[in-house]
Structures are given as structure tokens and as C-alpha cells.
Amino acid sequence: MIRKLLLLSLVLLTAGFVQAQHIPASKPVLDTARSAPARESADGRVYELRTYFAAPGKLDDLHNRFKNHLLGFHEKYGITNLGYWVPVDNPKRMIVALVSYPSMAARERSWTQLSGDREWIQARRESEVNGRILDAVREEILTADAATDVTTLTPSESRGYEIRRFTAQSGQVEAVKARVREQLADEYGKSNATVRFFTPTGDGNRTATTLIALIVRPVTQADDAEMAIMLIGKTAGGLAVTKTPGEMVTTLKPTEYTPTK
């Protein structure tokens, strides 16, 4: 009897070990389930902010994967490329991408088709001939704000880019938006800076962030991130805005392959 129990335990342990081996060691750690529901944006589309973290020493290889392969496969399967940036200060080896889809169902379909594309699988393997180049991907499903103009994302030496994250008290999100617009108008003039607001939505919102602002503004002041943190982080008129550690203001510069349309 004891021998049978020991044998059964060994079989179970072996089965568990074999099952674990089927998990690819290089598979990125994702922040959100692909099935996260999303509210419809004003323009009817679903947006996604995707932050890629390159493996140590592999950021250039990851850039080459995007430039030479991935953006083309995105378009092939209906993933609209809106912008690709890197932080001005980039110790975490990040590439920040903004993409969109006609719907959440289309998003599911696009990534399923892409993951099974033989040409893409081959290109990915060839890009990793000298080792894994991607550590992780953070995915955030976003709903676009109806009250703002479409941000001009075309790269230019005269433009600076920012992503600002906010945590606002319940019912104060619109006040935060008004404060951001007012500050941008004061700093750069009403026509010299544009902002588009996004709300993290569905199960993908696993942080305290309640509002994301994508800002395009004159590059002459684009590196003044500390001043931006101080201005946005103030409490004014009962408006509570708190800093998300390390992510309150991210100053960005466009990659050479970001879309110019």
C-alpha cells in the first residue's frame, strides 16, 4: 500500500513538472488579460498603451524588431500604429507604443492571428538568435476622451511629448482635465500644445491610475519634468491629485519608426 502511494505521488509530481516545462521561459509577463472589457471611445475605437521592456543590452535589437518586422505585421492584422516613443531618461529600457483597434473583439482577433503567423514566428526567432530581447510587456486598455481634439502625433524636432498619469478623488476627474488644459495654455499658449485624455478601463486597470494624458508641446520646455510634477502635483481648490511613483510625468521622444501619417 505504501509503495502504491509513493508511486502515485511520484507520477503526480512528474506530471506537474512536465506541465510546467510547456511554459515558455521567454514569454513576457503581461499586466492585463486580453479579455478585459472596454467602454467604447467617442470615436468608436479601443486604444491600448503598450510598454515594452527590453532585456539588458537588447534595446537596439528590440527597436530593430519593431522597425523591420512588427509594425508591418500590426498593419497586416488590423492593429493601427499611432505612436512609438522612448523615455528621455530610459534606465528600464522601455519602448512606449500607442495602438488602436475597431473593437475589443477585433483586438482579440488581431493578436490571435498575429501570434500564429508563420512569417512573424520566423522573424521573431531570427531576432532572438543571440538571446531573448524582451523581458515583459505592460498592456493598458484605454477609453479615449470625447471632449478633446485628436492629438497630432507626427514627429518633429519642435515637438516634445509627455505621458502624465493621475490619481484623482472620485468625481474629480473632469476637474483634473480642466486643470491640465489650463496649465498647458498658460505655459505654451492655447494653440501650441495639445492633449488627449484616456481612461484606463476594464480588468486591465490594475494600478491606481484613473486618468492618462498624452501631451504634445513645444520641445523647448520638454525636459522640465520636475517643474511639471510640482505644478500638476499640487492640491488646489480641494482637488486631490497624487503622484504615481515613477510614473507621474514621463517625457518622451519619438522613435525613428513612429508613424508620420
Q: Would you give the distance in Å from CA 157 to the centre of its chain?
A: 23
- Count the alpha carbons within 13 Å of 218 in the hemisphere toward its beta carbon: 11
Each residue's pLDDT tens digit, 87-124: 999 999 999 999 999 999 999 999 999 999 999 999 99
> How many residues are given for the chain?
261
Q: What is the pTM of this model?
A: 0.75
Instruction: Answer yes or no: is pLDDT of 231 > 80.
Output: no
Each residue's pLDDT tens digit, 164-213: 988 877 778 888 888 888 988 988 887 788 889 998 886 555 556 788 99
Given a contact cutoff of 8 angstroms between Cβ atoms, the answer to whether 204 and 31 are in contact is yes
Greater pLDDT, 148 or 115:
115
Domains of the chain: 25-141 (3.30.70.100), 159-254 (3.30.70)
Question: Residue 214 and residue 161: Cα distance in Å, rounded?
Answer: 7
Sole residue written with cell 516545462: 21
Question: Residue 59 and residue 131: Cα distance in Å, rounded?
Answer: 12
Q: Give the cell for residue 255.
A: 522613435
Specify the pLDDT at position 39: 54
Instruction: Answer yes or no: is pLDDT of 135 > 50.
Output: yes
Question: Residue 54 and residue 86: Cα distance in Å, rounded?
Answer: 11
Q: Give the cell for residue 38.
A: 472596454
